[in-house]
Amino acid sequence: MKTPVVGIHMDMKYLMPRKSYLLDWVRRLPEWGVNAILLEYEDKFPFEKYPFLRSPEAWTPEELKAFLAAARGAGLTVIPLVQTLSHLEFALAHPQLARLREAVDIETQICPSKPEAVRFVHDLIDEVMAWHDSDPLFHIGADEAWFLGTCPDCAPKTAGGKDKAALWLTHTRDICRYVIAQGKRPLVWDDSFWHNPALSSELPPEVILCAWHYHLTRRESCAKTLLPCIEGYRKTGHETLLIPCCNWGIILPGRHALANTATLAEVARSEKTLGLVNSAWTCFHTVWQGYEPYVAATGAAMAGADVLADSWREDYFAREFGARVPGLVAAYDTLGAIWDVRIEGLGRPISPIVYGYMDMVVHYKGGQLERQKRGIYPLDWNEVDFNALYLRKLEMIRALPEAERNAAFTRLDESLLRYADAAATMRTLAKEARRRREVARLFAATAELKLHAARALSLFLRADQDVAAVRRDYEACRAPLESVLNEMYEPLSVRRMMAMWWAPTAAALQSRK
């Protein structure tokens, strides 16, 4: 039996770690049992034909050459990913490419009925593939094509938008053949087949289907969803990679992501799939170094370790930091837990304390639907007033029905206690760590930020805190957080992170008398 793929997804959109850190990181992956990376370039690729697509933080050709050499030198299989249908807002939001959209107001998806849009996708594939001549696999995305059938040319092909499968299959099959003709095996996200795995027979047999299921946290829950897909793909002659998510959280990932990883790793082993690649989406806003424990858990889970046992993470943290701190696992879980509040009409929940992965639904007037059309962020981040967004979240929580508001207050009181304990534990870690001290300082800075942001929230909602004390303690969070982020991320990304996580509460406190 060939060695299973044990991979980690590198989603390069939005926030960019220091290039030097990424070089060290890929060299460490084999230590954690990882043998592949799924590299989703987005705007960090040094495009030549469309130079306006490059982020100011993009790899230069020299930097990318060094990074790929480091990854391959570490024995990693590098799998590039180019979106070929949806999630193309990094490109289509530019006015130069607006003509390629499915509709004028849909910046995330090309119109597959426009030959020039398909040629554009070929151009992206060609540029990226030139850097991956020796790499056998190539991911073409193709997930969440929500808006197929919107334009007048596409609508007749989808029965007025009711049957999108034929159009999706035609486009995706052609892209797969384009990739196969260049000697690569295509990978495709599988959500178009969730309700009918037999449809996968329409794709070439070389295609590897990437079965992503982020809600599954127990083997029993796979029976109605994941297992029928694996069996269905097997019947149509397709190999499967399983895709959990290792960084679902806010600043740090929550335990849900660990359970999801462990569950899909168990299925990958028992069902003898091609392997597993753990996705890590930057829209969740978990810092790269913060989800390293779950990267390590990916390799360990695929090797059969019980990563859900607290003892596994206790040993991991002791090795990483050169210190064994009591309560560290519980503190990490506390800081990674997502606290959601559902607001009618938004389509997605919001995060009351610091900026969360779905909070842009508050910025977009159309809520989740416009977020799907525009992407997580507009092309110009200056369009987003994070301070105003935070104030609107406060207004929405205040306007909740009494029972829901009281439930939020109960959760807030629980969070205040847990964050206080977590902050004390992380301060001890930062003091005692003998290795990876910058990560220990990151954990400590995160704990202080969440604790004092929760105190500020309580002040704003219930006027039960001393204004001057909360303002003083919250202001004190800035320097440690900004300092450690500057060690870890490129400068533009640090400014964006501080604008999301620290500045809104600080501005609200300054205006509070």
**Does residue 320 fall inside a structural domain?**
no
Q: Are residues 122 and 158 in the same domain?
A: yes
Q: Please, are residues 296 and 32 in contact by the beta-carbon 8 Å criterion?
A: yes
Q: Are residues 168 and 296 in the same domain?
A: yes
Distance, in Å, from the CA atom of 466 to the CA atom of 120, rounded to the nearest integer, reads 57
What does pTM read for this prediction?
0.96
Output the domain CATH number for residue 259.
3.20.20.80
Between vectors from CA 492 to CA 488 and to CA 496, what angle results, nearest 5°?
90
Domain boundary among 292, 308, 324: 308
**Does residue 418 fall inside a structural domain?**
yes
Q: Over its length of 513 residues, how does the chain's per-residue pLDDT go in tens digits?
A: 479 999 999 999 999 999 999 999 999 999 999 999 999 999 999 999 999 999 999 999 999 999 999 999 999 999 999 999 999 999 999 999 999 999 999 999 999 999 999 999 999 999 999 999 999 999 999 999 999 999 998 888 887 666 788 999 999 999 999 999 999 999 999 999 999 999 999 999 999 999 999 999 999 999 999 999 999 999 999 999 999 999 999 999 999 999 999 999 999 999 999 999 999 999 888 999 999 999 999 999 999 999 999 999 999 999 999 999 999 999 999 999 989 999 999 999 999 999 998 999 999 999 999 999 999 999 999 999 999 999 999 999 999 999 999 999 999 999 999 999 999 999 999 999 999 999 999 999 999 999 999 999 999 999 998 999 999 999 999 999 999 999 999 999 999 999 999 999 999 999 987
| Residue that is written with structure tokens 């900026």 in the block | 355
Helix (H, G, I), strand (E, B) or coil at 259: helix
Q: Are residues 490 and 394 in the same domain?
A: yes
**Does residue 319 fall inside a structural domain?**
no
Q: Are residues 24 and 140 in the same domain?
A: yes
**Does residue 315 fall inside a structural domain?**
no
127 Cβ neighbours under 8 A, 6+ residues apart: 45, 47, 48, 49
Distance, in Å, from the CA atom of 86 to the CA atom of 84, rounded to the nearest integer, reads 7
Q: Please, are residues 154 and 111 in contact by the beta-carbon 8 Å criterion?
A: yes
φ/ψ of 125, rounded to 5, equals -60, -45
In terms of phi and psi (left: phi > 0; alpha: psi -120 to 50; beta: otherwise), the region of 429 is alpha
Provide the angle, in degrees to the nearest 10, between the axes of the packed helices 437-462 and 503-510: 40
Provide the angle, in degrees to the nearest 10, between the axes of the packed helices 61-73 and 19-28: 10
- Each residue of 131-184: pLDDT tens digit? 999 999 999 999 999 999 999 988 888 876 667 889 999 999 999 999 999 999
φ/ψ of 414, rounded to 5, equals -65, -40
**Does residue 316 fall inside a structural domain?**
no
Q: In this structure, how many other beta carbons lie within 10 angstroms of the beta carbon of residue 471?
A: 20
* Domain around 398: 334-510
8: number of CA atoms within 13 Å, CB side? 28
Q: How far is CA 498 from CA 325, 352, 481, 486, 505, in A?
A: 28, 17, 8, 11, 11
Beta bridge partners of 439: none
Distance, in Å, from the CA atom of 324 to the CA atom of 52, rounded to the nearest integer, reads 48
Beta strands in 391-511 (DSSP E): none
